[in-house]
Chains A and B, each alone.
Chain A
Amino acid sequence: MNWVAYGPNALLFRFAEQVSGQALSRQRSIVTDLERHPPAGLVEVVPAFTAMLLVFDPKIVPKPTHAAEELLKRFEAAGQGKLPATAVKEIPVRYDGEDLKAILKGKGMTVEKLCELHCAPVYKVYMLGFSPGFPYLGDLDPRLHTPRLASPRAKVRAGSVAIGGEHTGIYTVDSPGGWNIIGHTPLKIFDPTRGEPNGPDEAMFWLKPGDRVKFVRVD
């Protein structure tokens, strides 16, 4: 594990060498530890595949680098807790994406085979990012790894299920995007109108880091 300063008020910790289930368990242990015992002046934690950003309030922590080594020791001690065995959430997908034909042609694969491979794993949410609630799902079958489009689309519809390199994910809002679209889901992964008035704001986000999901083919 190591760390690097990211401007005067933030530290970026690297807790793993590569994306893996182990890295995710480690990420969750560190986040849980930070939630239980937040260091003074910590205002934001952003977990990602192998890196975690900690942002501090400069009025309380003028020099975060002075606290870095101690935090590093603490994160190393947090170890690799087991992921909570949350229920697997199912995501219905119609495999009719704009890039489906090109992928099938490029891989010499039938649509049945692609669906089988894409629906087989239980995926883990490694992080949310890019746009509100966009889940980066790891554990994609290597036979489905596909480089991003050379030139991104100006508009990808919300609900598009896509493959970007070694990951699969779901566009949560209409936005530009460079991933290969293989299908669409009617599920609203991000919905700013979901949840009770004055209820927790987290209700807008259907998936959270550490969640487990499975794709189910529908026609």
Chain B
Amino acid sequence: MGPKVFEILEPGLGTTLQDRGRPGWRRFGVPPGGAMDDHAAHWANRLLDNSPDAPVVEFLLQGAKLRVLAETWIAVTGADAEASVPTWRAVRSYEDDVLQFPANRSGVWVYLAVESGFESPRWLGSASVYTRGRLGQPCASGSVLCRAASARFELPRGVAGRVVDWHERRNYESPPPLRVWRAPQWDLFSETDRELFFAQEWAISSQSDRVGYRLAGRPLKPAAAQILSEPVLVGSIQIPPDGQPIVTMRDGPTVGGYPKLGLVEAADVSWLSQCRPGVKVRFQLLP
């Protein structure tokens, strides 16, 4: 066991360990999982020279509170939850500091990395907690997190601090148009419906989670209500009978029977994941 670094005082709305997920297990019905916003999670690790596969803590919106158990380097990225430490930079934290995220100002998912990465068991090759599938458990009050016992982080000699460049930081309140590839049932949709999808702004619904993000707008009408269940990729834009799209996210079902209009480009799924309920998104068709 590596050194204990944090005690969870309050888990807030949802706190889990995540890494880059477990690709390759879909044929057993296990979704890939992993950090919802892989862009922010990646930067948290990168600030501390961690492996890109190192587990990070993912917080949903707000409310989490942690006590620091031992002096260590940390980095907080992702959603703005009025963190008690500076964000998007490497920060030294000290025993008995309390790290908290009291209120959500923008974005959805906050990431916390620790030097050398959090220690965690792995299931099917990944530390990513997948609650419904009973692979790992969310953090609860009193949970203690350890960091891996490998090499310590040091700022390079002569460097006073390390921050993420402004142009890499994102304004989660105004996402760019999300790029979309055609999905297998593209042809089941009329020209009018395809235009309706790309012409309008869709609002993120409050019924959105690690499984799927629902979009609200003027409904679409596919030519068939159901298809024979077939494999589904993360980012798939599924159209259920009510015509309001559901985008499959990282813990979403591995197969599905709703027609799929498109697939959100993998690099833009992280943008979508940080859109709070009510935020408007547009989509743009890729060739």
Max count, chain A CB within 10 A of own CB: residue among B30, B229, B233: B229
Instruction: Name A31's closest neighbour in chain B (CB-CB).
Output: B27
Residue from B23, B30, B255 within 8 A of A132 (CB atoms): B30
For the complex, count residues of A whose C-beta is within 8 A of B.
42
Asked whether B29 lies within 8 Å of A134 as measured between CB atoms, the reply is: yes
Indicate if the CB atoms of A129 and B228 lie closer than 8 Å: no
The minimal Cβ–Cβ distance linking B230 to chain A, given in whole angstroms, is: 4
- With A43-B23, A44-B27 already in contact, the answer to whether A136 and B133 are too (CB < 8 A) is no
A161 surroundings in chain B (CB, below 8 A): none
The reply to whether A12 and B133 form a contact with Cβ atoms under 8 Å apart is no
A88 at the interface (CB under 8 A from B): no
> How many of B's residues come within 8 Å of A, CB to CB?
30
Interface status of B254 (Cβ within 8 A of chain A): yes
Q: How far is the CA of A128 from the CA of B184 in the complex (A)?
A: 20
Q: Is the Cβ of A49 less than 8 Å from the Cβ of B28?
A: no
Q: Which residues of B contact A51 (CB under 8 A)?
A: 228, 230-231
Interface of chain A residues 22 through 56 with chain B (CB within 8 A): 43-53, 55
Shortest CB-to-CB span from B247 to chain A, Å, is 13
| B57-116 CB contacts (< 8 Å) to partner A | none
B277 contacts A by Cβ under 8 Å: no
Q: How many whole Å from A69's CB to the nearest CB in chain B? A: 17
- On whether the beta carbons of A12 and B182 are closer than 8 Å, the reply is no
Over the window 95-110 of chain A, the binary record of Cβ atoms lying under 8 Å from chain B Cβ atoms (1 yes, 0 no) is 0000000000000000
Q: In the complex, are the beta carbons of A46 and B27 less than 8 A apart?
A: yes
Q: Mark B154-177, 1 if CB is under 8 A from A, else 0.
A: 000000000000000000000000
B230's partner among A9, A44, A49, A172 (CB-CB below 8 A) is: A49
Q: Which residues of B contact A45 (CB under 8 A)?
A: 27
A133–B230 touching, CB < 8 Å: no
Partner of B132, one of A7, A18, A43, A131: A131
How distant is A15 from chain B, measured CB to nearest CB, in Å?
11
Verify if A62 is at the interface (C-beta below 8 Å from B).
Answer: no
**Partner among A6, A8, A48, A52 whose Cβ is within 8 Å of the Cβ of B229:** A48
**Interface CB pairs A-B, < 8 A, 30:** A7-B233, A8-B181, A44-B23, A45-B27, A46-B27, A46-B254, A47-B27, A48-B230, A48-B231, A48-B255, A49-B228, A50-B228, A50-B230, A53-B233, A55-B233, A128-B27, A129-B26, A129-B229, A129-B231, A129-B255, A130-B254, A132-B30, A132-B133, A173-B133, A192-B133, A192-B134, A192-B135, A201-B124, A202-B28, A209-B27
Chain B interface (Cβ < 8 Å from any Cβ of A): 23-24, 26-30, 123-125, 132-135, 181-184, 228-231, 233, 235, 253-255, 263, 265-266
What residues make up the interface of A, taking CB atoms closer than 8 Å to B? Answer: 4-10, 12, 18-19, 43-53, 55, 127-134, 136, 172-175, 190, 192, 201-202, 204-205, 209
